[in-house]
C-alpha cells in the first residue's frame, strides 16, 4: 500500500525533553489523518518534521515518496503548512500575502494574482482583500492562513490545530473548507485537541500522548476500544425515571446509570435491544423526549486511552 505520507519511528529530543519517542504516522492519498492529543503530546513536533522544519533525531519520514531529510525541496514543493499560529504577514494585505507566496512558489506575477483572487473568493475574503491583515478578525486570519497553504495546490496539507481559538460557527467553516480540499484529492494531516473535530473530519485517527502513538484506527474503531453502544432515555416526566430504570434493567444486562439530570443510560451488547426498549416504554405509557443508541464519544475514548494521566481536555463549547 502506498501512503501519501508515512513517518516511521520518529524520535525528537529537545535537550532533556523527549518530544517524540518513536511515532508512526501514515495516511493514504486523499484521506484525512487526525492526530489527536493534549498540549505537549508532540503533535506539532511531528508536523514540523513532516513539513521539513525540523530534522528527526531518529526514524524516517517520507512525503509523496520523498524523504524529508534527503529531499526537503521536493517535499516543500508538494506540501502546504498551516501552523498553530497564523503564519501570515500582519502588515501586508490579504492579496499581498497570497501573491507573495505565489511568487515564492514560482508562479508568474499575473498567475499569482489570479490565484490569490480565486482563493480569496473561495475563502470569503474578497471584501477584505486589500486591507492589511492586522485589521482582520481571528476567523478571517485563520481562513487567510489556510488559503496561504493552498496557493501551490499542494497534494498534502498539514493543518496544525487549525481551529484553535475559533468559535463553533467559524470552526464549521474551516471544516467545510478542509472537506472541499479532500474532495479534490488532497491528503490532509490535521492535528487537534478537539475530539469532535477529529470525529468530524478524520478517516483515521492516531492518538498521541507523551510522544507516542497510543492508539490508531477509524473513529468507530477507537470508540469500540472503550466499549459497545449505549442506550440513553429521557422521559418527558421525570417522575417516570424509576419506571424507565426498571425497563432498562429488565431488557439489558447492563448497569443503569443516571447521566445528568433526567437521563438514564445503559450499555448494550446488541443494538437490537433498542426495539424491545421502545415497545416496553410504549406499553407502560411513558412518553420520552430523548431516546438514543450511540457509540461512546471520542472524549470518553481519549480519557480511557490516556487513563486520566492528563487532565481531561476542555472541549470548547
Partner 1 sequence: MTTITTETPIIAVVPGRPFGLVRHSLVMARRSLIKTMRTPEQLLDVTLQPIIFIVLFVYLLGGAIAGSRHDYLQFLLPALLVQNVLFASAPTGVSLNTDIKTGVFDRFRSLPIGRSAPLIGGVLGDMIRFVVAIVVMLGFGYALGFRFGTNPLAVVAACLLVMFLAFSFSWMFVLLGMLVREPGAVQGLGFVIMFPLTFGTNVLVPTNTLPGWLQAWVKVNPVADAMQAARGLMVGGPVLDAVVKTLLWSVGILAVFAPLAVRAYRRKT
φ, ψ for residue 53 (rounded to 5)?
-85, -20
User: Considering the complex, what minimum distance in angstroms separates the CB of residue 170 from partner 1?
Assistant: 18
Grid coordinates 481571528 are at which residue? 138
Count the residues in the chain.
Answer: 317
Q: Please give the residues from 117 up to 176 whose contact with partner 1 meets the rule CB under 8 A.
A: 132, 148-149, 155-156
Strand-pair partners of 20 = 12
Interface pick for partner 1 out of 33, 41, 46, 88 (rule CB under 8 A): 88
Closest by CA to 62, choosing from 14, 113, 10, 104, is: 10
Q: Which 3 state secondary structure label does DSSP give 67? A: strand
User: Considering the complex, what minimum distance in angstroms separates the CB of residue 75 from partner 1?
Assistant: 9
Bridge pairing between strands 66-67 and 229-235: unpaired
Per CB under 8 A, 66 contacts partner 1:
yes
Total interface residues for partner 1 by CB under 8 A: 50
Grid coordinates 494585505 are at which residue? 93
φ, ψ for residue 111 (rounded to 5)?
-60, -45
User: Considering the complex, what minimum distance in angstroms separates the CB of residue 17 from partner 1?
Assistant: 14
- 307 in Cβ contact with 244 (< 8 Å): no
- 228 in Cβ contact with 267 (< 8 Å): yes
Per CB under 8 A, 274 contacts partner 1:
no
Terminal C-alpha separation, the chain: 39
For Cα atoms 272, 273, 274, give the angle at the middle one, nearest 5 degrees. 90
Of 35 and 231, which CB lies nearer to partner 1 in the complex structure?
35
Of 125 and 157, which CB lies nearer to partner 1 in the complex structure?
157
- 296 in Cβ contact with 177 (< 8 Å): no
Interface pick for partner 1 out of 78, 231, 233, 241 (rule CB under 8 A): 78
Binding mask 15-44 for partner 1 (x = CB under 8 A): -------x-x----x---------------
User: Considering the complex, what minimum distance in angstroms separates the CB of residue 96 from partner 1?
Assistant: 7
Of 104 and 246, which CB lies nearer to partner 1 in the complex structure?
104
Q: Please give the residues from 278 up to 307 whose contact with partner 1 meets the rule CB under 8 A.
A: none
Residues of this chain that bind partner 1 (CB under 8 A): 2, 4, 6, 8-9, 22, 24, 29, 48, 51-54, 60-62, 64-67, 70, 73-74, 76-81, 83, 85-92, 96, 100-101, 103-106, 132, 148-149, 155-156
Amino acid at each position: 500500500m502506498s501512503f501519501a505520507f508515512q513517518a516511521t519511528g520518529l524520535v525528537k529530543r529537545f535537550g532533556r525533553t523527549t518530544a517524540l519517542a518513536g511515532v508512526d504516522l501514515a495516511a493514504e492519498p486523499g484521506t484525512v489523518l487526525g492526530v489527536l492529543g493534549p498540549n505537549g503530546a508532540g503533535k506539532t513536533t511531528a508536523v514540523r518534521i513532516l513539513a521539513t522544519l525540523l530534522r528527526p533525531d531518529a526514524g524516517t519520514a517520507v512525503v509523496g515518496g520523498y524523504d524529508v531529510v534527503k529531499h526537503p525541496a521536493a517535499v516543500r514543493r508538494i506540501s502546504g503548512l498551516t501552523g498553530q499560529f497564523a503564519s501570515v504577514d500582519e502588515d501586508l494585505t490579504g492579496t499581498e500575502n497570497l501573491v507573495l507566496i505565489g511568487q515564492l512558489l514560482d508562479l508568474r506575477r499575473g498567475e499569482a494574482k489570479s490565484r490569490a483572487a480565486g482563493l480569496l473568493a473561495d475563502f470569503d475574503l474578497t471584501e477584505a482583500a486589500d486591507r492589511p491583515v492586522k485589521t482582520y478578525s481571528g476567523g478571517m486570519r485563520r481562513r487567510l492562513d489556510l488559503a496561504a497553504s493552498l496557493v501551490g495546490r499542494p497534494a498534502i496539507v498539514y493543518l496544525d490545530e487549525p481551529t484553535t481559538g475559533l468559535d463553533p460557527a467559524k470552526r464549521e467553516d474551516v471544516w467545510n473548507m478542509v472537506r472541499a480540499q479532500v474532495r479534490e484529492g488532497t491528503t490532509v494531516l490535521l492535528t487537534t485537541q478537539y475530539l469532535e473535530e477529529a470525529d468530524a473530519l478524520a478517516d483515521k485517527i492516531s492518538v498521541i500522548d507523551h510522544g507516542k502513538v497510543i492508539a490508531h484506527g477509524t473513529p468507530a474503531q477507537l470508540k469500540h476500544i472503550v466499549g459497545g453502544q449505549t442506550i440513553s432515555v429521557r422521559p418527558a416526566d421525570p417522575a417516570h425515571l424509576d419506571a424507565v430504570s426498571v425497563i432498562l434493567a429488565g431488557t439489558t444486562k447492563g448497569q443503569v446509570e443516571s447521566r445528568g439530570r433526567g437521563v438514564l443510560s445503559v450499555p448494550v451488547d446488541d443494538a437490537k435491544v433498542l426495539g424491545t426498549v421502545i415497545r416496553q416504554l410504549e406499553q407502560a405509557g411513558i412518553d420520552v423526549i430523548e431516546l438514543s443508541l450511540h457509540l461512546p464519544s471520542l472524549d470518553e475514548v481519549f480519557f480511557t486511552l490516556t487513563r486520566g494521566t492528563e487532565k481531561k481536555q476542555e472541549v470548547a463549547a
